[in-house]
Amino acid sequence: MDTLPSEFFTDPGPSPHAATAEFRSKCPVHRIDYPPGSEAYAVLGHKEVEEAFGDLRLSKQVENLPPRYRDKAAESLLMVRNLGFADPPEHHTRLRKPISRAFLPGRIAHLRPRIQEIVDDLIDAFPESGEIDLLTAFALPLPLTVICEYLGIPVEDRPLFLEWGYILSQDPFQHSETELKAATEAFTDYFTKLVAERRKDLRDDLLSELIRGRDEGVFSERELFSTILLLLIAGHKTVANMLGNGTALLLCHPEQLAMLRARPELVPSAVEEILRYEGSASWASLRIAAQDMRLGDVAIPKGSFVHLSLSSAGHDPQAYDDPERFDVTRSPNHHLAFGHGPHFCVGAPLGRLQGEIAFTTLLRRLPQLELAVAPQEIAWLSDSSLSRGLDALPVRAGKRVPR
């Protein structure tokens, strides 16, 4: 069996799907050299990824790593500990409950008018002519503003959250230890002060709800900060990637773009196709074999990293008809971009709502929106996070229709 190189994880580049297809057709599970030098496996097949999501032998808790990884992971504020890095029945159930209440579709639906207003304000602020980077002008500030307001944390400190989020979403086994330490300390100091202030003035925002949970003994102090960090990172990078990847895909498929402009009621279906084709994360977050096990025909020793490739699953011909065709009307489209099973993305309703409003409004208000670079010059970000996103998306907005 081939061992996939570490770049397969960290730097898939603009068109990884052909290389992925070749490995997947040989075997749905491969060894992979990531983190470099570790015992690690990549799951590439749609069926195998879906099964792995529901397989309780795969743990998300750093305690199940071999000691040389465990000690480093234990220092990661993102990994210790929140709903995303906890196993049922104990920690996961306790840590997810208050968050899942806050993200129920019915509660999220109330955000629609405010999201629409933020989208329109950002579009109104685009310059009349010349190039803009759609990521910095739109895709990043939209979800970051939404998650800050929903949490009830100061929107004007967005630049700090962006910087900390960028650093603290990187892999602790790969990224500079001193940089991670410094960002963790800055983040913790900031939220220690904010939590102390808010405690004297509890409101009906999510931060206040989390502080009540802390004071009733549901969370430890570190779990409170870890949960805030997860909500901030997963709350903005994911949606930013979806908006950037989706806009690029539409601008590179003019016939699909034209159909969507003519039939805006297809936007929710287009959002699902964007998530299947170039979803916000290439890989699902940390999973560790908690015992010796087999996945497909491959024996996986206890303590191994098991990486689930969302990107590969989304292009598996066993699961999708003509998977390389980008089709905004695709149906059925049971993609795994939000995961599956007990860890299914708690933020999915908020991500989908922002996608629907953002794409509907961009298409309606910017009838001339176009790329300002050739499609092959669009640059994908390469870092050690799970992200599948662009470095920048240079566009010309053109004529603007009033809100």
Provide the Cα torsion 341, 357, 375, 326; round to 10°.
50
Q: Does 280 bind ligand D8L (CB under 6 A)?
A: yes
Tokens of 40: 């690690």
Shortest spacing between CB 142 and ligand D8L, in angstroms: 15
Residue 92 or 198 having the CB closest to ligand D8L: 92
Q: Does 387 bind ligand D8L (CB under 6 A)?
A: yes
Q: Does 140 bind ligand D8L (CB under 6 A)?
A: no
Footprint on residues 73-92 left by ligand D8L (CB under 6 A): 84
Binder of ligand D8L out of 237, 307, 315, 335 (CB under 6 A):
237
Q: What is the DSSP string of 243-304?
A: HHHHHHHHHH-HHHHHHHHH-GGGHHHHHHHHHHHH-SBSB-S--EESS-EEETTEEE-TT-
What is the biggest distance separating any 2 CA atoms in the chain, rounded to whole angstroms?
Answer: 60
In angstroms, the CA 71 to CA 73 distance is 6
Footprint on residues 155-184 left by ligand D8L (CB under 6 A): 169
Binder of ligand D8L out of 20, 59, 64, 241 (CB under 6 A):
241
Shortest spacing between CB 127 and ligand D8L, in angstroms: 28
* Residue/partner pairs of 113-122 with CB below 8 Å, 24 or more apart: 114/146, 114/149, 115/142, 115/146, 115/353, 115/354, 115/357, 116/357, 116/361, 118/142, 118/145, 118/146, 119/357, 119/358, 119/361, 119/362, 120/361, 120/365, 120/403
Shortest spacing between CB 78 and ligand D8L, in angstroms: 6
User: 223 by DSSP, 3-state: which?
Assistant: helix
Shortest spacing between CB 309 and ligand D8L, in angstroms: 13
Q: Does 236 bind ligand D8L (CB under 6 A)?
A: no
Residue type, 36: P
Tokens of 5: 């190189």
Shortest spacing between CB 35 and ligand D8L, in angstroms: 15
In angstroms, the CA 361 to CA 359 distance is 5
Residue 10 or 280 having the CB closest to ligand D8L: 280
Q: Does 227 bind ligand D8L (CB under 6 A)?
A: no
Shortest spacing between CB 105 and ligand D8L, in angstroms: 18
Residue nearest to ligand D8L (CB): 385
Q: Does 285 bind ligand D8L (CB under 6 A)?
A: yes
By rule CB under 6 A, what count of residues binds ligand D8L?
Answer: 13
Please report, as ranges, the residues that interact with ligand D8L according to CB under 6 A: 84, 169, 233-234, 237-238, 241, 280-281, 285, 385-387
